[in-house]
Each structure stands twice: as structure tokens, then as C-alpha cells.
């Protein structure tokens, strides 16, 4: 398109998505015009102003109805109206943040599997379904950005840099995260990094270990008349006195992730703020693996129990009456076995 008008110092309004309009914008700028890019609806309100101060309207893209209205308005206002071809967007890559679930490949969503199957690059962590990746993402370069023993994790900024760089080179990038991407996974930061870089980003939620690992062990995070709230807490940094007090005060289930190292501080703090000594606790290590292990104890006995069992991360810690809820309910019905036996049986300890 070339404008058969002298554009120098004229005000040109280019209507449409800025990407699609980039050729029209460049031509108008080259002609010496003062150029503004506007969406169809922005253009409508601009032309509706009392003195629109527009010398040329260039239509690129938008709803046909808006185009007709704008053309009529321009005629009325005696503003020349031109049409320019949209430029097809250059093919560019994208990032999909996929929640990989708690480790069992059967617990990735169908959307997550699809994204993996189409991926050119997968950046993955230590947790999640990493062993199944060669099958799930057969065409992809697999980049391990997680912590492995003796190895430092790739720093967060570096992960974001690789992700953005690969996407910018036109590749379909999957950032695979354990559980759900927005539960303590720094997923929000990675999405923000894509936004800053102008890289399209999609999010596929996942099955979080905070609910799934207790479920696997037969522990419901809520249970009628027993717990009507569950609070998922990161134990990465010890809780403040205020947080401890509210955690006890709320009275529901506490689910703690990354909490093995800070368990002494947590259990002491909860008791100091009034949690009863015999509050049931379950420590669930390596959920959804063959080496998973469940330790059921109480808040006053938990330190001794985890020391004795040499509990290690990754583990989900559940604190609350739900730990024994199913056993208690079964016990009410059967009424012929001790709680301890049933809890042990349900958790596979008997």
C-alpha cells in the first residue's frame, strides 16, 4: 500500500493489532506522518471525540462492523479512509507451563500430555514425571534444570533466560513443573518473564502433591464435620509467630510442603500456640513412587518418629484430624478393631 497523500506532519491513525499493522505503520512513519496505532474500539472512541484531529485513517484489521462504522464516521468528518493489508505474524515460539502432577505419568492432564507431545524443548525439574519424558516428549530436547544430589539447581533467572531464548528462536517450549505450576513452583515468575519478553505463554494446571499425596495415602484433606479448611503451607522458611498462631486458630487441616527441615520449629510452634498434643500427623515421603512411605504419629511424637524413620525430603506433612478420619469412620461402623490397628492397616503399615 502507498498513500497518495502528502503525509508530512499529518496525523495518521492505523487501526488494528500492532503486529499485523507493522507494514502500514512503517510506511506512514517513512512518509513523515505522526502515527498512532489503535485497536478498532480505541479508534471508534477517538473518532467519536469532538475534534478527533486525525488526517488519515488506515484500516488494517478488526471486526467488519467496526470497519463500516469507522468508514461512515470518516466520510462524515471528511477524513480520508484507506485500507492496508495485514502482515501475517512471523512464526514465533511459545512457552507452555505444564503441571506434571506428583510423579505418576497417569496423573498428567491430557492437555499437559498434548503440550509435551508437541514440544521442541522441555525444561524439567527433579520432581514430577521425569522418567516418562522420553516417551511423552519424543521430539524434544530435554533440559534438566532441577536440583540433583551434588548438583546445584540452575538459578531461576537462568531458567527464565533459556526459556525465553528458546521460544524466541521459534521453538515450542514446555516448562514442566512438579504438581501444579502455581503451587510453590515459581511459576508466576516464569509467566512474568515471558510477558516481559513478549513471548506467548500458556498454563496447563496440574494435580498438586498437596492434595494428591495425602489422597494416595488414604487421607482426605477435608472431611465432613472434621475439617472444612485446608491450608497449604511452605515450610521452606520457618513460620512467624503470627502465622503459627493463625494456623492453629483456623482449626482445619495443615498441609506442609518442603517442611522436613523445619519440622522441629513447626511442631514446637504449633504446640506453643495451643495445638493439642495428640493431634494426628502423617509424613508422606516420595508419593507415587515404589519407595513411598507413610509415617503416622502425633504432633508431640512427630520429631521422634521422623528421626527414627530417617524421614527425608520430598515429603508432604499433613497435620489434622483428617489423618485418622477414614480410619475413625470405618471404626465407627466396624467397632471391633482398635484405632491404631485400623490406621496402620489403612496406611499399609500393618
List the interface residues with ligand SAH, window 314-343 (CB under 6 A): 314-316
List the x/- string, 172-211, binding to ligand SAH by CB under 6 A: -----xxxx--xxx----------------------xxx-
Annotation marks residue 258 as catalytic: yes
Give min distance, CB of 286 to ligand SAH, in A. Answer: 5
Neighbours of 223 (CB within 10 A): 17
What is the rounded distance in angstroms from the CA atom of residue 204 to the CA atom of residue 188? 13
Cβ-closest position to ligand SAH: 179
User: CA-to-CA distance for 57 and 133, rounded, in angstroms?
Assistant: 52
Tell me the number of residues near ligand SAH by CB under 6 A.
Answer: 24
Q: Is 166 a catalytic residue?
A: no
Nearer to ligand SAH, 37 or 267 (CB): 267
Would you say 169 or 313 has its CB closer to ligand SAH? 313
Selecting among 68, 131, 135, 147, the annotated active-site residue is 147
Active-site hit among 61, 125, 177, 279: 125
Going by C-alpha positions, the residue among 18, 8, 79 that lies closest to residue 47 is: 79
Within 243-282, which residues bind ligand SAH (CB under 6 A)?
257-258
Residues between 284 and 303 with contacts to ligand SAH, criterion CB under 6 A: 284, 286-288
Residue 339 neighbours by CB under 8 Å, 6+ apart: 324, 327, 328, 331
Q: Rounded to whole angstroms, how far apart are CA atoms 125 and 306?
A: 26
Tell me which of 33, 57, 84, 213 binds ligand SAH, using CB under 6 A. 213
Give per-residue burial for 157-190: e unless 16+ CB within 10 Å, then b: eebbebbbebbeeebbbbbbbbbbbbbbbebeeb
Q: Is 125 a catalytic residue?
A: yes
Cα–Cα distance for residue pair 33/21, rounded to 1 Å: 15
Q: How many other β-carbons are positioned within 10 Å of the β-carbon of residue 220?
A: 18
Find out whether 323 and 296 touch, Cβ atoms under 8 Å: yes
Q: Which stretch binds ligand SAH (CB under 6 A): 112-120, 193-201, 238-246, 308-316?
A: 308-316
**Among residue numbers 88 through 117, which ones bind ligand SAH (CB under 6 A)?**
102-103
In the bound complex, what is the minimum distance in angstroms from residue 44's beta carbon to ligand SAH? 44
Helix (H, G, I), strand (E, B) or coil at 187: helix
Which residues contact ligand SAH by CB under 6 A?
Answer: 102-103, 127, 177-180, 183-185, 208-210, 213, 257-258, 284, 286-288, 313-316
Residues with active-site annotation: 125, 147, 258
Amino acid at each position: 500500500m502507498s498513500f497518495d497523500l502528502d503525509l508530512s506532519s499529518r496525523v495518521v491513525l492505523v487501526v488494528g493489532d500492532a503486529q499485523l499493522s507493522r507494514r502500514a505503520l512503517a510506511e506512514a512513519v517513512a512518509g513523515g506522518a505522526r502515527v498512532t496505532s489503535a485497536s478498532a474500539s480505541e479508534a471508534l472512541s477517538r473518532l467519536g471525540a469532538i475534534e478527533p484531529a486525525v488526517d488519515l485513517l488506515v484500516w488494517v484489521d478488526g471486526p467488519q462492523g467496526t470497519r463500516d462504522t469507522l468508514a461512515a464516521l470518516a466520510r462524515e468528518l471528511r477524513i480520508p479512509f484507506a485500507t492496508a493489508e495485514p502482515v501475517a505474524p512471523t512464526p514465533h515460539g511459545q512457552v507452555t507451563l505444564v503441571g506434571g502432577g506428583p510423579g505418576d505419568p497417569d496423573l498428567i492432564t491430557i492437555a499437559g500430555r498434548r503440550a509435551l507431545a508437541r514440544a521442541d524443548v522441555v525444561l524439567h525439574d527433579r520432581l514430577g514425571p521425569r522418567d516418562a519424558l522420553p516417551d511423552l516428549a519424543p521430539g524434544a530436547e530435554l533440559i534438566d534444570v532441577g536440583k540433583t544430589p551434588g548438583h546445584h539447581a540452575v538459578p531461576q533467572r537462568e531458567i527464565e533466560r533459556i526459556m525465553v531464548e528458546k521460544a524466541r528462536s521459534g521453538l515450542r517450549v514446555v516448562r514442566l513443573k512438579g504438581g501444579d505450576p502455581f503451587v510453590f513452583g515459581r511459576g508466576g515468575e516464569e509467566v512474568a518473564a515471558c510477558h516481559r519478553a513478549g513471548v506467548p505463554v500458556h498454563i496447563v494446571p496440574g494435580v498438586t502433591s498437596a492434595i494428591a499425596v495425602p489422597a494416595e495415602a488414604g487421607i482426605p484433606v477435608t472431611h465432613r464435620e472434621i475439617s472444612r479448611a485446608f491450608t497449604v503451607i511452605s515450610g521452606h522458611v520457618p513460620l512467624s509467630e503470627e502465622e503459627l498462631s493463625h494456623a492453629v486458630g483456623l482449626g482445619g487441616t495443615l498441609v506442609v510442603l518442603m517442611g522436613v527441615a523445619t519440622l522441629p520449629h513447626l511442631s514446637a510452634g504449633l504446640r506453643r500456640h495451643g495445638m493439642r498434643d495428640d493431634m494426628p500427623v502423617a509424613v508422606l515421603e516420595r508419593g507415587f513412587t515404589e519407595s513411598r512411605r507413610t509415617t503416622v504419629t502425633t504432633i508431640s511424637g512427630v520429631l521422634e518418629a521422623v528421626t527414627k524413620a530417617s524421614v527425608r525430603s520430598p515429603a508432604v506433612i499433613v497435620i489434622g484430624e483428617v489423618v485418622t478420619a477414614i480410619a475413625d469412620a470405618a471404626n465407627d461402623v466396624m467397632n471391633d478393631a482398635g484405632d491404631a490397628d485400623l490406621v496402620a492397616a489403612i496406611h499399609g503399615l500393618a
